[in-house]
Amino acid sequence: MKMKKVKVLSPQVAAKIAAGEVVERPASVVKELLENALDAGATQIAVETKGGGLESMRMTDDGSGIESEDIETAFGRYATSKISDVEDLEDISTLGFRGEALASIAAVAQVDITTSVGEGTVGDAVTLKDGIVVRHVQQARPHGTTITIRDLFRNVPARLKFLKSTATENSRIAGVVSQYALAYPEVKFSLNIDGRATLQTAGNGKLMDVVIVIYGLETAKKMLEVNGGEVGWQAGEAVPITVTGMVGAPSINKAGREALNFFVNRRVIGSRLLTRAVEEAYQGLLMQGRHPIAIINITIPPAEVDVNIHPTKAEVKFQNERAIFSTVQKAVRSTLVATAPVPQIEEAQKPYIGQAAVGTRSLWTSQNYEPGAVPLPEPAPTVRMTLPVLRVIGQVAGNYIVAEGPDGLYIIDQHAAHERIMYEQLTAQKASRGIQFQGLLEPFSLDVSPQQDEMLKLDVGNLRDFGFTIEPFGERTYLVRIIPAVLKDGDWLEALREILESPRDKTTNVEDNIIKSLACHSAVRAGKKLSDDEMRELIRQLEKVNLPQTCPHGRPTMLHLSIGQLEKEFGRA
């Protein structure tokens, strides 16, 4: 084949290619326009879209507006009013700074903008087609900007093909607006999709009010306030990290990670580091494969974070990832541990409404850190949620222990409760003396499948730390000589099988999973008849654990029916 001649692309083609980096889909336009409105100091932002954003999108803000003589420049590539020097990149306090959005949008859509800076000026109306100004007239309006985008990607058929259904694009648009609404509770957002009012926030500065709009009242009632942070020192200068926001009680959770919202210096970002930090804080509180709801605001000095690593600014790079990780993990963990409520048969918890204090930020604990020399994240301090002293009444259906406390009736799932006890005991043992083990009278010969074989090779060291001594003995055959002592009366073979077959990825905490399997298979089975003494002993041990209300998989261990609730049920109250 004959090579084609090398040519420089025309400016129009080059602009369309460049636009693709910033404007991937309608929701990316919404994101860029929202950021511009917020940078302009808007207190009210209205978004309207039609046809999944492809037909039209309109954003109206009451921000500063653009000076008449700057409008056409603003649509040029790398045109920005927000930074002027390379050094400014070190200290970015605005959401925009690349000066690419308006140029990119104008390259792939028709744009109409009306804007005014107020103060006695009239205002301007400008139309661009294919990135070129085709109309610029005076038009009166109050200060602020309205920008209308039509026929997005009409001139880029290849891009159009990759878009999903209108419904998918609409849901992405709603997702973007929701995230900014959560990040800026003091701004009044509205979103109208194809004539339907989809979202409307109050703009009163209360995060809880935004949470109610976005996740609903029932979820909002189960949100817990996060308020934490640390001060580190670097080259003699204080580096404060504050973490505020809200997280859901473990009982509200999702199949996906869509309800994890991270804001760094009020910029919406995605971050695997922060996802891991939050999910680790829920360790032992959620069932496998479930994900929490979280709104996490991180405030750090701008120089501590590089926001210029991604064309759409969707990710950031922290100078000190470990400090961020551990501060977020601890702040969330201590919220969860301090407030874990006993599940109630009827809702008796006070809703958290009105307690969200977005403005109050506190710094606690100080810790020195140097980049690269930060101690590994430690578990957050655990606040004990002790049970009151309970009097055992009896067992129901071979699995539920019924007990009386100072405030009513407790119904305890014997297996789940014992699992929690074993989980905490084993975790403590592992951390201090190590797991106790027990030799088998005769070695057990274990045949494994090829997949199990792979896992076993990978895990053999870990398993030894947990009390399993397993030696190779021919092709896919092993000899088990020693097992964890807690499993001597339980089904150690089943526990081992579960460990070798548990699904895992990079985020899996293998040790914690092993402990969960040991706890599950050493705990008393559901259906086992217990004597009064055995039940009393179980309750005594449950009184001693840190988180008596959930099993290690996040399921409840008990229900509480208060006297007040009983009286209400019987019509006495």
Residues at the site binding ligand ADP, with contacts judged by CB under 6 A = 32, 36-37, 40, 61, 63-66, 74, 79-82, 96-103, 145
Contact of residue 145 among ligand ADP, Mg ion, none (CB under 5-8 Å per partner type): ligand ADP
Min dist CB 82 to ligand ADP, Å, is 4
Closer CB to ligand ADP, residue 74 or residue 358? 74
Per-residue b or e along 428-444, where b marks 16 or more CB atoms closer than 10 Å to that residue's CB: ebbeeeebebeeeeebe
Distance between first and last Cα of the chain: 90
Nearer to ligand ADP, 111 or 380 (CB): 111
Which has the closest alpha carbon to 376: 417, 322, 312?
Answer: 322
Q: How far is the CB of 380 from ligand ADP (least distance, A)?
A: 38
State in angstroms the smallest separation of the CB of 318 from ligand ADP: 22
Q: Which does 110 bind (CB under 5 to 8 A by kind): ligand ADP, Mg ion, none?
A: none
* Residue closer to Mg ion (CB basis): 63 or 96: 96
150-184: burial string, b at 16+ Cβ within 10 Å, e else: bebbebbeebeeebeebeebbbbbbebbbbbbbbb
Measured from the CB atom, the residue of 146 and 469 that comes closer to ligand ADP is 146
Residue 542 binding partner per list ligand ADP, Mg ion, none, with a CB distance cut-off of 5 to 8 Å that depends on partner kind? none
Burial of 236 (0-12, 13-18, 19+ CB in 10 A): exposed
> Which neighbouring-strand residues pair with 344?
560
**C-alpha distances out from residue 225 to 213, 338, 347, 354, Å:** 17, 11, 19, 11
Could you tell me the smallest distance in angstroms from the CB atom of residue 77 to ligand ADP?
Answer: 9
Min dist CB 30 to ligand ADP, Å, is 13
Interior angle at CA 89, CA 85 and CA 94, nearest 5? 105
97 contact, one of Mg ion, ligand ADP, none, CB 5-8 Å limit per kind: ligand ADP
Q: Is 496 exposed, middle or buried (0-12, 13-18, 19+ CB in 10 A)?
A: buried
Pick from Mg ion, ligand ADP, none: which does 99 bind, CB < 5 to 8 A by kind? ligand ADP
β partners of residue 247: 224, 294
- Smaller CB separation from ligand ADP, 107 or 558: 107
Distance from the Cα of residue 494 to its chain's centroid: 34
CB of 295 to ligand ADP, least distance (A): 24
Can you read off the two tokens belonging to residue 415? 């297996």
Minimum gap (Å) between residue 149 Cβ and ligand ADP:
12
Which of 345, 354, 336, 340 shows the shortest CA–CA distance to 220?
A: 354
Rounded Cα distance between 133 and 504, Å, is 55
Q: How far is the CB of 497 from ligand ADP (least distance, A)?
A: 56
Residue 82 near which of Mg ion, ligand ADP, none (CB within 5-8 Å, type-dependent):
ligand ADP
**Cβ 57 to Mg ion shortest distance, Å:** 15
79 binds, among ligand ADP, Mg ion, none (CB under 5 to 8 A by kind): ligand ADP
- DSSP per-residue letters across 295-310: EEEEE--GGGEE--SS
Q: Kindly state the smallest distance separating residue 68's Cβ from ligand ADP, in Å.
A: 12
Nearest CA-CA partner of 22 in 80, 146, 107: 107
Choose the one of ligand ADP, Mg ion, none that binds residue 298, judging by a C-beta under 5 to 8 angstroms depending on kind.
none
**Contacting residues toward Mg ion, per CB under 5 A:** 36, 96, 101
Closest approach of ligand ADP to the CB of residue 145, in Å: 4
Q: How far is the CB of 59 from ligand ADP (least distance, A)?
A: 7
Tell which phi-psi region holds residue 467, choosing left (phi > 0), alpha (psi between -120 and 50) or beta: left
**Of 143 and 536, which has the nearer Cβ to ligand ADP?**
143
- In the bound state with ligand ADP, the residue whose beta carbon lies nearer, of 147 and 298, is 147
To ligand ADP, the closest distance from the beta carbon of 105 in angstroms equals 8
Helices 492-501 and 510-522: angle between axes, nearest 10 degrees: 150
Residues 540 and 403: their CA atoms lie apart, in Å, by 12
Gap between the Cα atoms of 410 and 115, Å rounded: 64
CB 149 within 8 A of CB 29: yes
Binding partner at 341 among Mg ion, ligand ADP, none, C-beta below 5 to 8 Å by kind: none
Residue 308 or 462: which CB sits closer to ligand ADP?
Answer: 308
Q: Which two tokens stand for residue 404?
A: 């009386």
Residues 119-129 as b/e (b if ≥16 CB within 10 A, e otherwise) read eeeebbbbebe
Q: Which two tokens stand for residue 393?
A: 């009444």
Query: Tokens 């790079």, residue?
Result: 317
Report d(CA 29, CA 326) in Å as an integer: 34
Question: Quick one: what does residue 212 bind among Mg ion, ligand ADP, none, with the CB cut-off 5 to 8 Å set by partner type?
Answer: none
Of 36 and 115, nearer to Mg ion (C-beta) is: 36
The residue number whose beta carbon is nearest to Mg ion equals 96
The full DSSP string for 13-48 is HHHHHHHHHH-SSHHHHHHHHHHHHHHTT-SEEEEE
Give me the residue whose beta carbon is nearest to ligand ADP.
96
Judged by beta carbon, residue 101 or residue 487, the one nearer ligand ADP is 101
Nearer to ligand ADP, 82 or 290 (CB): 82
Nearer to ligand ADP, 106 or 455 (CB): 106
The partner in contact with residue 102, picked from ligand ADP, Mg ion, none with C-beta cut-offs of 5 to 8 angstroms by kind, is ligand ADP
Structure tokens at 294: 């979280």
Q: Which does 63 bind (CB under 5 to 8 A by kind): ligand ADP, Mg ion, none?
A: ligand ADP
99 vs 175, which CB is nearer to ligand ADP?
Answer: 99
